């Protein structure tokens, strides 16, 4: 009887340890999010802010902008960023910190950003600040933001 109990105990230990996320998985997930952030910023530079914020948005994404304005959903996000102001704007950012859930389905980043825009007289205006983005893994394995 004792060998059976020992075998069951060992089996339980093996099953539990197999379900624990490894540090390697956490680093892999963080790298995936870092790559998504880099691709997002690159697309904003190359294809425009509206296209990038639309493409990387989850279908239920929400962004918070000036005066606590909340914009809900991909299409409203694209519409918001299609305003003339954003057509002359550029944005640069880089996360200072990235973390991800143990299961690798949610993550978040924060860091510094810099917006620049040119007004009708040619004057360049700049704004800097801190961003915070919440990322969600999609069914195809890609990452999309749900909060920005």
d(CA 111, CA 93): 7
Report which of residues 21 and 80 the model is more confident about.
80
Cross-strand pairs, 127: 115
| CATH 3.40.190.10 is held by the domain 23-147 | no
CB atoms within 10 A of CB 108: 18
Closest CA to 47 of 87, 95, 75: 87
Q: Is the pLDDT of residue 13 over 60?
A: no
Split at pLDDT 50, 70, 90, the class of 148 is: very high
Strands of the sheet containing 143-147, edge to edge, are: 69-72, 57-65, 143-147, 124-137, 106-118, 89-100
Closest CA to 43 of 83, 92, 2: 92
Note the pLDDT of residue 138: 98
The pTM score is 0.82
Q: Scanning the structure block, which residue is given the tokens 């929400």?
A: 62
Split at pLDDT 50, 70, 90, the class of 23 is: confident
């Amino acid at each position: 009887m004792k060998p059976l109990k020992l075998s069951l105990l060992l089996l339980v230990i093996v099953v539990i340890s197999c379900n624990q996320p490894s540090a390697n998985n956490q680093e892999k997930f963080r790298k995936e999010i870092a790559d998504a952030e880099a691709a997002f910023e690159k697309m904003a530079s190359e294809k425009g802010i509206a296209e990038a914020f639309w493409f990387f948005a989850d279908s239920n994404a929400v962004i918070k902008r000036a005066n606590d304005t909340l914009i809900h959903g991909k299409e409203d996000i694209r519409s918001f960023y299609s305003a003339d102001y954003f057509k002359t704007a550029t944005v640069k950012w880089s996360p200072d910190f990235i973390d991800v859930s143990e299961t690798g389905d949610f993550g978040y980043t924060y860091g510094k950003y810099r917006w620049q825009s040119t007004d009708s007289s040619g004057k360049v205006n700049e704004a800097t600040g801190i961003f915070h983005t919440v990322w969600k893994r999609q069914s195809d394995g890609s990452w999309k933001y749900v909060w920005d």
